[in-house]
Structure 1
Amino acid sequence: MRRTFALAAAVPFVLAFVPQPDIVTTGNETPVLYDDDEGGNASGDDPAIWVHPERSGRSIVIVTAKEGGLRVYDLDSRELQSLPATPAPRADGVDGRYNNVDIAYGLRVGGRTTDVAVVSDRYNDQLRFFTIDPAGSRAATPLREVTAPEQEFLFSPDRETVDEEQTAYGVAVWQPNSRDTYAVVTREGATTIATARITPKSDGTVAYTDVEHLELPGSFPLPGGRTWVPCEEPGVGPQLEGVAVDQRSDVLYATQEDVGLWRIPLPLGTGEPRLIDKVADFGVHDVYDEETEECVPVDPDQPGLGGPNLVADAEGVDVYYGRGRTGYVIVSSQGDDRFAVYSTMGHNRALGTFRVEGDGVDDVNGSDGLAVTNRVVGDYREGLLVTHDEPETGPDVDPERDATNFSYVDWGQVADALGLKISTHPDNDPRF
């Protein structure tokens, strides 16, 4: 089933004075990944934090490396496992490209209750599934693939269309109750969002069914009766990537890279999506330059209509759970190396921004995916934020190669800087 929503009315946003972001620091980052033949074409993108239910120090961080597959790290950012992006288990399967990852907790797989890493595979337009060894960082092989064979494409009618690569992109897990688990998936180069029911099978594999789609707007009304269409290369729409679900309220938060942050009721189609915040240059009329392959403004002096919190691209997003129904939505403002924080309550009021500087390591730049947990994990007694960093720099990094990695940030620092509340009790996280 496919549903379409349009943005009902223009709400003028005027870009005012942009306050300086608060500063937090980190000295913990993962080994560098290189996106070239020698490095296995590994380009870091999106992390997920798996919290060990009893021994938090054995928690792990799982990250996507696109054509380089997956990496698993412990809480000291040491690599525990490297999994290649193997061909999908289907007759026409090709080597994968793993874009985003999230965790499904408490699935019955092969007669056991286990947690599963859910990964979007762009080159096969499908989901891939990996069980997580309950020993966590003590396991010899923390992840094991259990994807069922011959899964349907999420957005494409056939393999020929898959090869055009407008395929599965961002992913988040939605678990509305103890029986049902869904994946929410965005589409590269388009405004489509899909949900798919995750269905463990009796043979120990994991599949998905019941794929439904929702079309978000690709054009936007402006004051004065004008319409704005974000500039993209020909044939490409203003895509969404980052997605995260507030499991307590069944609300999806989704970043539309050149537009802003959306709040979308789940299941898809049960309520009107709402654009919470807009990127700074929302409404600026650009044109695509074929020679430079860049969008350039028609009028360089035209002011944007967006807010002060996000500079395109709006990228990674996740939810920090507080007491009751309180909490925070954290968004990567990739265009200016900041992170914006919003309340999960009411109209999702913006609470401030911060930047991550390195302490003995490089600063976090150009962040794509991020993940956060309110749980105690090892030495991170007030929660943990993990974020992508690109480009990775430093004395041990080859400046001639495309380098990425991930940084670990003590959530207590973020809370102190922005005056946020810390709530580490396990009962605050509905996933446990």
Structure 2
Amino acid sequence: MNRTPKAALAAGLLAAALLSAVPASAAGPEVVTTDNETPVLYDDDRGGNASGDDPAIWVHPHDSRKSIVIVTAKEGGLRVYDLDSRERQSLKAVKAPRRDGVEGRYNNVDIAYGVRLGGRKVDVAVVSDRYNDQIRFFAIDPSAAEPLREVTAPDQEFLFSPDRETVGEEHTAYGLAVWQPEPGVSYAVVTQEGATTLATARIVERNGRLGYSKVEKLTMPSEFPLPDGKTWKPCEEPGVLPHFEGLAVDQRSGVLYAAQEDVGLWRVPLPLGSKEPKLVDKVTDFGVEDVYDEETEECAPVDPDASGFGGDRLTADAEGVDVYYGGGATGYVIVSSQGDDTFTVYDRQGANKALGTFRVKGVKGVDDVNGSDGLTVTNRPVGRFTQGLLVTHDEPDTGANVDGERDATNFSYVSWGDVARALKLKVSTDRGNDPRF
């Protein structure tokens, strides 16, 4: 079922957000360091067309040292790493279990804890597959040499496409996050590439495997009122709308945080359509009129000196998003600002006030984090990361042993304690929102 926010009310909310933005500190971003990164992935035939994109942290319920990091590598499938960033498993993006299935392209991943499957509860990596416009599921067995095993039910419906021919246009399943509003109930929240559609799909068991049902959709805005009375539409290539990718659900409040890449960070109440979404922060060039150049396939400002009505923290694209849980309603929302290689931290409470920005510098032979796409964070102690762990995508990977002639990506591990000290944030290592406890 499709729901569209009422235009007049949405316009009023957006205009209010534009006029009430809180200026950030004039100070530059803080710097935190990392000496821990995963092996390089190469997006070419020799590298298996592996392009890193999005990570998720699975926290072991009894021995935190056995926690793992699961990442998407697009056409290269999935990778599983331990807490020292060593590879434990590599899974190819095999054909989807459907009669018209093709080899997959795994875009985003998140973890669903305590899902009913085969008469027991299992933890599951939930993955968006762009080339099959669907969700795929991988049961997690930490005792196995290879922790992930696909358990996707056959012939699941396309999420956004009416037929296989339309799937080929690739306006398909893109960003993904898991929502678990109560014990035994799990949903995937999914975005559509090249469109402003958000969708939720309930995760269900089908004959001993996992599928989904009850797909609900919400169309988000693609153009925006400005304080000068004009209407602004972000510049995109022909046939494309300003889409969303990075998503995270605040499991305690039922709020979806969604990054619309060329627009900013949204707060969207769940279920979709239950309340009006709110634009929390805007990218720096919000409101700047651009024009698309077919030769360069890039957008350029009509007036290079135009200032627009944007914020001063997120430089497009706004990408990865996750929630750090403190005690009660406290905590933080972290967003990657891909355009300037920084990360912004927002308060999880109230109006989501921006609390500071940081960048990640590599040390001991590890390179700096650039162009971060997906990120994930846990407040739980995991191995030597006793105050929590942030994992972020890095593109391009520019380490000493990286072939600079190839498209290289990887992921960096950052101690949350280091981030907290740099930005004067709180550390909380309770059980967060883990439904297993």
Q: Percent identity of the aligned residues?
A: 73
Alignment partner of 2:111: what SS? strand
Aligned to 1:62: 70
Q: Among 262, 268, 272, which residue is 2:272 paired with?
A: 268
5 Å matches for 1:167-246? 167-201=172-206, 203-246=207-250
Q: Deviation of residue 430 (structure 1)? A: 4.4
5 Å matches for 1:285-364? 285-360=289-364, 361-364=366-369
Aligned to 2:256: 252
Aligned to 1:384: 389
Q: Deviation of residue 19 (structure 1)? A: 2.6
1:113 to 2:110 alignment: no
1:298–1:419 Cα change, 3 Å = same
Where structure 2 has 5 or more consecutive residues not aligned to the other structure, the ranges are none
Aligned to 1:88: 96
Distance between the aligned counterparts of 2:328 and 2:23, measured in 1? 33
1:163–1:337 Cα change, 3 Å = same
Distance between the aligned counterparts of 2:185 and 2:122, measured in 1? 14
Q: Deviation of residue 17 (structure 1)? A: 7.0
5 Å matches for 1:274-289? 274-289=278-293
1:15–1:178 Cα change, 3 Å = closer
- Asked if structure 2 preserves the Cα contact closer than 8 Å seen for 1:126 and 1:153, the reply is yes
- Asked if structure 1 preserves the Cα contact closer than 8 Å seen for 2:114 and 2:184, the reply is no
- Asked if structure 2 preserves the Cα contact closer than 8 Å seen for 1:376 and 1:424, the reply is yes
Distance between the aligned counterparts of 1:259 and 1:20, measured in 2? 22
Alignment partner of 2:185: what SS? coil
Distance between the aligned counterparts of 2:142 and 2:407, measured in 1? 34
Q: Deviation of residue 180 (structure 1)? A: 1.0
The code of the aligned residue for 1:262 comes to W
Distance between the aligned counterparts of 1:223 and 1:154, measured in 2? 36
The code of the aligned residue for 1:62 comes to I
Q: Deviation of residue 56 (structure 1)? A: 0.2
Q: Deviation of residue 425 (structure 1)? A: 1.4
Q: Among 153, 163, 171, which residue is 2:158 paired with?
A: 153
Aligned to 1:35: 43
1:303–1:17 Cα change, 3 Å = farther
Distance between the aligned counterparts of 1:19 and 1:123, measured in 2? 43
Q: Deviation of residue 14 (structure 1)? A: 8.9
TM-score by length of 2: 0.96
Distance between the aligned counterparts of 1:302 and 1:407, measured in 2? 36
Q: Deviations over 1:279-331 (max 9, x none)?
A: 00000000000111100100000003111110000000000000011110000
The code of the aligned residue for 1:212 comes to E
Distance between the aligned counterparts of 1:326 and 1:122, measured in 2? 35
**Runs of 4+ with >6 A deviation:** 14-17
Distance between the aligned counterparts of 1:394 and 1:131, measured in 2? 33
Q: Which moved more, 1:39-48 or 1:217-226?
A: 217-226
- Asked if structure 2 preserves the Cα contact closer than 8 Å seen for 1:14 and 1:306, the reply is no
Distance between the aligned counterparts of 2:295 and 2:25, measured in 1? 34
Q: Deviation of residue 390 (structure 1)? A: 0.2
1:74 to 2:82 alignment: yes
Distance between the aligned counterparts of 1:297 and 1:247, measured in 2? 39
Distance between the aligned counterparts of 2:339 and 2:308, measured in 1? 14
1:260–1:337 Cα change, 3 Å = same
Distance between the aligned counterparts of 2:256 and 2:396, measured in 1? 29
- Asked if structure 1 preserves the Cα contact closer than 8 Å seen for 2:369 and 2:412, the reply is yes
Q: Deviation of residue 224 (structure 1)? A: 2.3
The code of the aligned residue for 1:4 comes to T
Distance between the aligned counterparts of 1:23 and 1:304, measured in 2? 28
Q: Deviation of residue 251 (structure 1)? A: 0.2
Q: Which moved more, 1:19-28 or 1:1-10?
A: 1-10
Distance between the aligned counterparts of 1:140 and 1:134, measured in 2? 8
Q: Aligned-pair RMSD on alpha carbons?
A: 1.1
Distance between the aligned counterparts of 2:24 and 2:125, measured in 1? 41
Distance between the aligned counterparts of 1:347 and 1:14, measured in 2? 10
1:2 to 2:5 alignment: no
Alignment partner of 1:335: what SS? helix
Q: Deviation of residue 346 (structure 1)? A: 0.4
Aligned to 1:408: 413
- Asked if structure 1 preserves the Cα contact closer than 8 Å seen for 2:283 and 2:316, the reply is yes
The code of the aligned residue for 2:257 comes to Y
- Asked if structure 2 preserves the Cα contact closer than 8 Å seen for 1:44 and 1:64, the reply is yes
Distance between the aligned counterparts of 1:394 and 1:122, measured in 2? 30
Distance between the aligned counterparts of 2:138 and 2:279, measured in 1? 33
The code of the aligned residue for 2:125 comes to A
Q: Deviation of residue 4 (structure 1)? A: 1.0
1:17–1:341 Cα change, 3 Å = closer
Distance between the aligned counterparts of 1:332 and 1:16, measured in 2? 16
